[in-house]
Amino acid sequence: MDRATYCHPNTWRAFEFELGLEYRSIADDQVLVQAAEKLWHYPRLTGPWPSREEYGNSVPITPDMLPRDATLSLYGLLELLDGRQAACYAWVVRPPGGSDSLSLCLPGGMLERLFPVAYNPMSVTRNPWLRDIERLLADIAEWVYGVAPFELAVLGECAAAVAVDAADLTREALAPGGFILPDELWRRLEPTLESRPLSHGLRHIPLNY
């Protein structure tokens, strides 16, 4: 992807399809650094870049970059399973209250350049091509968990923004799918939904709407 396409405002408009990883409130800085480093070392990811305008200018992730009661965005490219590249960004959120999180987001404007996108909602039934993206993001979650275990992972349109903390998650809330549960949480909730096993004892409940 060329720099002009990457930086164009239309690439970054609309809602994101994302992978959100939840970490305990006031997570240790080193855990978040390890999670972010591992994320960007995923073979299909290129980056991270400090901003969209610094296209191609990769920087190391250091503890002093982590926000306090704020957010950090880092940009890059994700190679999809069909070989095409998609603009993406990772987002570290450390709110004053609640859990810290690390998300990997694909903006709707980028997806519209690659696929016919139907919104309201951006569902897999209306957008069957999302299945491959969901599986790719689940693979990334599995990749990160091996180094920086998370409490819960969510997948979907603006998934992290509407997710509840792992401690408050109920079996009923799992119904729409789009979750990756560590073994301890899986055993607590005992879901009866379709799922697939991943490494490290993780279970992926695919989106089903």
Tens digit of each residue's pLDDT (9 = 90 or more) over 20-35: 999 986 667 889 999 9
For residue 61, is it within any domain?
Answer: yes
The letter for the amino acid at 105 is C
For residue 75, is it within any domain?
Answer: yes
Q: Report the C-alpha gap between 62 and 167 in whole angstroms.
A: 29
For residue 156, is it within any domain?
Answer: yes
For the beta sheet containing 152-157, the strands, ordered from the edge strand earlier in sequence to the opposite edge, are: 45-49, 71-79, 85-93, 100-107, 16-23, 152-157, 179-181, 203-205, 196-197
For residue 139, is it within any domain?
Answer: yes
Give the pLDDT confidence score for residue 98 in this predicted structure.
76
Number of domains in the chain: 1
Containing domain of residue 71, as a range? 3-164
pLDDT tens by residue, 166-195: 999 999 999 999 999 999 999 999 999 999
* Residue 76 near residue 49, CB atoms below 8 Å: yes
For residue 188, is it within any domain?
Answer: no
For residue 195, is it within any domain?
Answer: no
pTM value is 0.95
Task: Write phi, then psi, for 73 (nearest 5 degrees).
Answer: -115, 135
pLDDT tens by residue, 113-125: 999 999 999 999 9
For residue 184, is it within any domain?
Answer: no
For residue 176, is it within any domain?
Answer: no
